[in-house]
Structure 1
Amino acid sequence: KEWDIFYMHAHAPDHFYHLAINKLDHDPDPNLRKKLAELEKRMYISLDKMVGRILEAVGEDTVVAVSSDHGAVPTEPGSKWISINDILEQAGLLKYKNKENRIVDWSQTKAFEDRSCYIWINLKSRFPDGIVDDKDYEKVRWEVINVLHSYRDPNTGKCPFAFILRREEAIMLGLRGETIGDIVFGFYPEAPGEHGRQITSGEYSIGSMKGLLILSGPGIKKGVILKRQVNIVDVVPTLCYVAGLPVPKDCEGAIIYQALEDKDLHLTKLKKLEEKYRKLEETIRVMRSLTHAY
């Protein structure tokens, strides 16, 4: 059976920048920075060869997309990893049974961090070891938010938080539903951490948290750099639209019309079909009239 969509994942850039971006940016050893820059170049040459082989295999009649879900930024020199749970512990909102092994004492914990940028209130109604009553939910939530706003990184003297939002306010970031934390936060790009914590539009020193999107193939404009913001959720509906496939019913993204040679692609096809149908009808009408002319 002929395939409709082929996709794959290459993890090399993600792995490389997790390991090397801080050293690449500000390591005091110039020789190490030079070696890492050469490794970075070799990595992209390898990826470029891979993309080239794919382009050769699929031919010119296939739309190809190269995209990423995030970028990478170095942390500010002198800064160290910031543990949200340690901040909560210092404020008396979280308790460890064994801090060395990060084992939490849930019987004395009101709030905790989970999944990079979420903080949960330890509600009795939600968790088996919860200790916070529903009536105290908002009170505890504001207590956590105030603690985070007042925090200063001891290594830089700065507040690392670009924003701290309640769950219901995070909808403007595209975050909603029961899997979203009670509190959502984002770090400034130079704050110590990694993607998931930093704001997605952040740029610092040699890095950027912005993702990448390259489109090529029939129906795609050539040599154009888009001025509109593109979100990762826009990739799938755009590829489906160009390929003539149905857009997933729960898709939240938008078609990137600015990248298309004909933004009315399917309307144009429909008009051409209607014109062909009209001509066919006219041909049939003429043939019938000739048949009954005797």
Structure 2
Amino acid sequence: MGGLMARKVLMLGMDALMPTLLERFVEEGILPNFGRLFREGCFCRLRPVIPAQTPSNWQTIATGATPGTHSVVVWGAHRPGDPAPECHRAEAFSSGICLAEYIWEAAARKGKGSVVMNYAGYPPTSEKATFLDRIYRPARSYYDVALPTVYHTLNVDAGDHITFSKAEGWTSLPDSHLPPLEAEVRVEPSSEGEGPAYRALLWAEGEGYDTMALCRGRDIGTSLFRLKVGDWSGWVREMFRTEEMGEVEAAFRLKLVECSPDGNRIRIYRSEAFPTDGRFCSDPELGRRLVEELGPYVHAMMTVALHVREGILDWETVDQALSDEATWWSEAARLAMEETGAELLYLHWHLPDLVEHRLVPLVDPTGTEYSPERAQDAWEELRRYYRAMDGFLGEFLRWVDLSRDVVAVASDHGMPANRKAASLVNAFRDKGWLTFTPDGRAVDWGRSKVFFEQNHLWINLKGREPTGVVPPEEYTSLRAEVQRFMRDLKDPETGEHVFAFVLTREEAPVVGLWGEHIGDLVFCYSGGYRWSGDEVLRMGEERVVFPCGGGNHGPMVPTYETGVGSNYGVLILAGAGVRKGVVEEPSRRGSRCTTDVAPTLAYLLGIGPPAQSEGRVLHEFLEGFRAEGPRRKLVPLERNVRQQRKPKAPQLKGDVTDEER
């Protein structure tokens, strides 16, 4: 059990925060808060468990357990008795799928409370853990009533297109140098239902169109606000009626991003809409108090997507949304911990992963999408976003006392660039192992001899799988045949092996995988290669190995790293009981794993590790422990013994007990 007893322990999880970029930007001096933690604490790479992706590793970071133990071996879990290829993807972050104790459950056993923010492990399994939001799809809140959008007049396939026409039938209109224009603006809810509708009115207080109002009807007197370019509205609270949430009040705000003088180019940003009744908190009364004190909930990841994925939103708007999110989350965490007396915070924030999927392939020369012409702009985008990450961290450091508290910044994996995609569907097409639907556009997994998901392949075995088609007597030979085929699979252009390894489940413990939930075969793709499924049939792609863009992490070996990209995660540790200015030695790279986070933080909190934890306490980062290895002197110990009279023929060396005596 720990003995250092930090007053509070904060684990700030930043999904896909990448060591190579972090080191580069800290050295450039653009990340003052990360730089402070580097100086005042410890920094190392974290080796992800397999697969190196979000659900498996955030469950591991909270439990200290490997995927075979907590069961989340893919994006979810294929459990005994599940039909092929069921993996409970929608439940990948749920407490119901995780078969290992969480650190906040271990804390509760010692009477300590926790705040768990936008993390896995919902529904709550302990009354002493208060949840604020939960991971749904990693970049998306579970509680959005309406997703953000950009209403626009542009000719692009993004956001919501609106059409302005001459304002007619209005009871009253403002004075304008040009004829006022109007457009219908609807707020569509995330699920089936009905949201509010408005009339957007545009007019010219100057020589060109420059002012917008959002009105409830054709009367300027019903306007909710008036905006110039660059202005934000206040919070708009409206009732929604949705199939999923029923009748609920939700709040959102708008910004006039662009308005050309002739009125032809208009962009209006609208934020996510979130409930105001506190339901995003497992204690709704606490949620309501947070809204009263801090304003409506802010979750900006889908706003970021409008910039980095859709290209429809400007950086300045995103930057403000991220700044507001950082302030809200930090203050909400502080107030929730104060209100509940919690000593532990576990938080997940998805910004690095969201932006790196798009931007890292543009700056990493090993990736298919790299070009020197685009790399410079992409580097600047990455710097902007990493500054936002630094600002997020800074909001928490404002109220944390590192002389008494501990802050850990951790990530679950990194983000290498893709070079090629590999298709097992195409590779297996002529082997007789797959059965296809009549139209040939999908695999009928239930009638196939094998089915696979990400890094795991199962034999569709009779008596084990509900849809089993392979007799037990054929299991061993079929599995061996598939294993040999996958091991021999090469990129026809380069001669590289597509798979770094392909192991049977009996061999898989060597890479940290075991238990009844893993596949009959376990594998990792070689660096730069990514997985694919039966979507290749609908794409018309018939090649087994083919170029692809983007960034990825889950398919590849967890230790893959290029000069720019890395599949490693990050651990930064600073505060009470933590050594200062410690950076990992290159020779120890890969020795610390995501399994080590929970037991180390449990130790610093003064509690035992979670019950199924398989990681270790990182004593080398803690004060009061010897970090250096002992100094030894190597002395010769060979004996000068008489040789056998009849020399033996040369033979392969074996164990020392097999050698000549």
Q: Under TM normalisation by the shorter chain, which class is it? A: 0.7 to 0.9
* Bigger Rg over Cα: 2
Of 575, 580, 591, which aligns to 1:217? 575
Aligned position for 2:452: 113
Q: Tell me if 1:97 matches 2:437.
A: yes
Contact 1:161 1:187 in 2 (8 A): yes
How far has the Cα of 1:244 moved from its partner?
0.3
Q: How many residues align?
A: 259
How far has the Cα of 1:95 moved from its partner?
2.2
Q: 1:13-46: per-residue Cα shift (whole Å, max 9, x none)?
A: 1122222322222446434222211111111100
Contact 2:451 2:459 in 1 (8 A): yes
Output the CA distance in 1 between the equivalents of 2:582 and 2:371. Answer: 39
More RCO (CA 8 Å, sep 6+): 2
Aligned position for 1:274: none
Which residue identity lines up with residue 111 of structure 1 in the other structure?
A: V
For 2:496, what is the secondary structure of its paired residue? coil
Runs of 4+ with >3 A deviation: 26-31, 98-101, 154-157
Which residue identity lines up with residue 230 of structure 1 in the other structure?
A: R
Structure 2 vs 1, CA of residues 99 and 205 (structure 1 numbering), >3 Å: closer, same or farther?
A: farther
Aligned position for 1:41: 383
1:16-95 aligned within 5 A = 16-26=355-365, 27=369, 29-60=371-402, 61-76=404-419, 79=420, 81-95=421-435
Aligned position for 1:132: 470
Higher normalized helix content (fraction of residues): 1
Structure 2 vs 1, CA of residues 175 and 100 (structure 1 numbering), >3 Å: closer, same or farther?
A: same
Contact 2:445 2:451 in 1 (8 A): no
For 1:254, what is the secondary structure of its paired residue? coil
Normalising by structure 2, we get a TM-score of: 0.38
1:141-156 aligned within 5 A = 141-156=479-494
Output the CA distance in 2 between the equivalents of 1:155 and 1:90. Answer: 21
For 1:96, what is the secondary structure of its paired residue? coil
Contact 1:119 1:181 in 2 (8 A): yes
Which residue identity lines up with residue 360 of structure 2 in the other structure?
A: I
Aligned position for 1:170: 508
RMSD of Structure 2 on Structure 1 (CA): 1.9
Which residue identity lines up with residue 356 of structure 2 in the other structure?
A: Y
Q: Tell me if 1:157 matches 2:499.
A: no
Contact 1:74 1:206 in 2 (8 A): no
Output the CA distance in 1 between the equivalents of 2:405 and 2:513. Answer: 33
Output the CA distance in 1 between the equivalents of 2:341 and 2:482. Answer: 54
Which residue identity lines up with residue 19 of structure 1 in the other structure?
A: R
Of 243, 249, 258, which aligns to 2:611? 249
Output the CA distance in 1 between the equivalents of 2:417 and 2:430. Answer: 27
Structure 2 vs 1, CA of residues 188 and 62 (structure 1 numbering), >3 Å: closer, same or farther?
A: same
Q: 1:81-103: per-residue Cα shift (whole Å, max 9, x none)?
A: 21223222232211221676433
Output the CA distance in 2 between the equivalents of 1:230 and 1:29. Answer: 34
Q: 1:86-134: per-residue Cα shift (whole Å, max 9, x none)?
A: 2222322112216764332533x211211x1001101111222211111
Q: Tell me if 1:238 matches 2:600.
A: yes
Structure 2 vs 1, CA of residues 154 and 236 (structure 1 numbering), >3 Å: closer, same or farther?
A: same
Structure 2 vs 1, CA of residues 102 and 19 (structure 1 numbering), >3 Å: closer, same or farther?
A: farther
Output the CA distance in 1 between the equivalents of 2:504 and 2:439. Answer: 28
Aligned position for 2:351: 12
Structure 1 stretches lacking a partner, 5+ long: 265-294
Output the CA distance in 1 between the equivalents of 2:439 and 2:618. Answer: 48
How far has the Cα of 1:48 moved from its partner?
0.6
Aligned position for 1:180: 518
For 1:128, what is the secondary structure of its paired residue? coil
Q: Percent identity between the aligned chains?
A: 34
Output the CA distance in 2 between the equivalents of 1:187 and 1:240. Answer: 34
How far has the Cα of 1:151 moved from its partner?
1.5
Structure 2 vs 1, CA of residues 105 and 162 (structure 1 numbering), >3 Å: closer, same or farther?
A: closer
Structure 2 vs 1, CA of residues 218 and 199 (structure 1 numbering), >3 Å: closer, same or farther?
A: same
Output the CA distance in 1 between the equivalents of 2:439 and 2:491. Answer: 20
Structure 2 vs 1, CA of residues 244 and 105 (structure 1 numbering), >3 Å: closer, same or farther?
A: closer
Contact 1:163 1:187 in 2 (8 A): yes
Contact 2:411 2:571 in 1 (8 A): yes
Structure 2 vs 1, CA of residues 98 and 261 (structure 1 numbering), >3 Å: closer, same or farther?
A: farther
Of 555, 562, 565, which aligns to 1:204? 562
Contact 1:91 1:147 in 2 (8 A): no
Normalising by structure 1, we get a TM-score of: 0.82
Which residue identity lines up with residue 362 of structure 2 in the other structure?
A: K
